[in-house]
Structure 1
């Protein structure tokens, strides 16, 4: 897999990413505790039309860094570094959860680089209720590290999934999911959750100029409706859509999630011929 080096606030990071497909650039930013593999269904759906770049940011996958505290700006710099190394001058940008916060920061800090923006389960700032939620996550993660438990993985489906999952599962399936999550969680989930605690994008929202889809989940137990409205009010060229799922819509309803994002991207990318706005060749 390609890698690139970038300076962040605590030192240096070596960012690993996937580069797939051909066409205009599309950068995908995963959520807390996940990796770039979260985006495989969307990548498969659009790689015939886009050059898809999916990085792991610090704490996840193959990306390596100093191991200390992180900031939202650090993670945005890592994502931009992957886009630069992959040869993308401008690009469409999609983020889920913390990835949506990272994408918003990038789009507000470098508006000329971002052609369109999709924010699923994003938020404008971490309010008191969200602060309590993320602090509880950190408590569970610390307890798991100390005692070898799976409390965070056991909580995740309760927090992330809506009726689509719970109406069609049973105890055995839930326990199997907990075991899978316990082994799949990124090792830096606690460091990423600390970034969740510090999100405040309100000073940057007016600087986002790209056409933006604010994609909410109807049964999101983490991000409230008021946060989505703040994004809509703060980003001038934004519109709203909703998916019938919980916060973890990419896993709960992958087909519906992909369809909504792919549809928006198709609107942003007019048919200008097979060689329109191609990304630069892949780095050696």
Structure 2
């Protein structure tokens, strides 16, 4: 597979890069925290994950503002800005409903989109998500991580790699540490991470009407599985699947089990 990269512009003029691979019904992928469309395609594990997801469909993913191939913005991170960027991307997909997959912080964005635009989402899949960012880590740990990212992006990215991908081998961890630093500046990384700790979507869950699958790894070190259970409990009729593993990154650990579950989707 080869990916095609294009660009769209949000209502306020921010340039957002997106990539498409595969053919068929669109599956829109909302990434967590940081991404880089080109560099991620060069990482074997991440590329294999996306290629598996794209079998039989058109996988569409994008870099949020200030990350990867997308332009920086003076607008601070917020859920409203996240939804504006997603709107710019899906506005080029046509009128038919699409499948929506949100991972990590992207799961919260996907919930907010599905709540606001139920007619656009055929199926919703949430992986590695949470309801309240305030509840995913103790305040002292959050301040320590934010301080590291801000003051020493190299060390901060290495610490986060160990949290996000404990099942990865040393080579992959080293590659991912470099990848994070190439995705954005330390200031952007800190601002986005801080937002992930501040978001709370508890009031949006009852508004989701799309068939929904919530997937989580049992010992995810970045987002406790209890938060995923709250996601599933709050969305009427949703399914909840817990897979073995510790890695928060979807392409680390047992990716086959995760891809199989995601592709099957909500029943």
Residue 127 of structure 1 aligns to a residue whose secondary structure is: helix
1:136-155 equivalences under 5 Å are 136-144=144-152, 150-155=154-159
Residue 15 of structure 2 aligns to a residue whose secondary structure is: strand
Separation in 2, partners of 1:143, 1:122 = 27
Q: Please point out which of 116, 122, 126 is paired with 1:115.
A: 122
Report which structure shows greater RCO (CA 8 Å, sep ≥6): 1
TM-score when normalising by structure 2: 0.84
Task: Show CA shifts across 1:145-201 (max 9, x none).
Answer: 5xxxx2112212331234x44xxx46xx48744753454443332221122022110
Residue 82 (structure 1) shift = 0.4
Residue 26 (structure 1) shift = 0.9
Task: Show CA shifts across 1:25-45 (max 9, x none).
Answer: 210011112234376434422
Structure 2: tracts of 5 or more residues without a match: none
Q: Is the deviation greater in 43-52 or in 199-208?
A: 43-52
Partner of 1:207: 207
Separation in 2, partners of 1:121, 1:179 = 20
Structure 1: tracts of 5 or more residues without a match: 268-284
Residue 48 (structure 1) shift = 4.4
Partner of 2:54: 47
Partner of 1:216: 216
Partner of 2:34: 33
1:178-189 equivalences under 5 Å are 180-181=178-179, 183-187=181-185, 188-189=188-189
- In structure 2, do the counterparts of structure 1 residues 45 and 221 end up closer, same or farther at CA, with 3 Å as the change threshold? closer
Task: Show CA shifts across 1:206-253 (max 9, x none).
Answer: 111111111111121221232112111110121111222221232333
- In structure 2, do the counterparts of structure 1 residues 17 and 95 end up closer, same or farther at CA, with 3 Å as the change threshold? same
Residue 41 of structure 1 aligns to a residue whose secondary structure is: helix
Q: Which has more radius of gyration?
A: 1
- Asked if 1:160 corresponds to 2:176, the answer is no
Residue 199 of structure 2 aligns to a residue whose secondary structure is: coil
Cα pair 1:119 1:214 within 8 Å, conserved: yes
Q: Which segments of structure 1 move beyond 4 Å, counting only runs of 4 or more?
A: none
- In structure 2, do the counterparts of structure 1 residues 82 and 40 end up closer, same or farther at CA, with 3 Å as the change threshold? farther
What CA RMSD, in Å, does the superposition of the two structures yield over aligned residues? 2.5
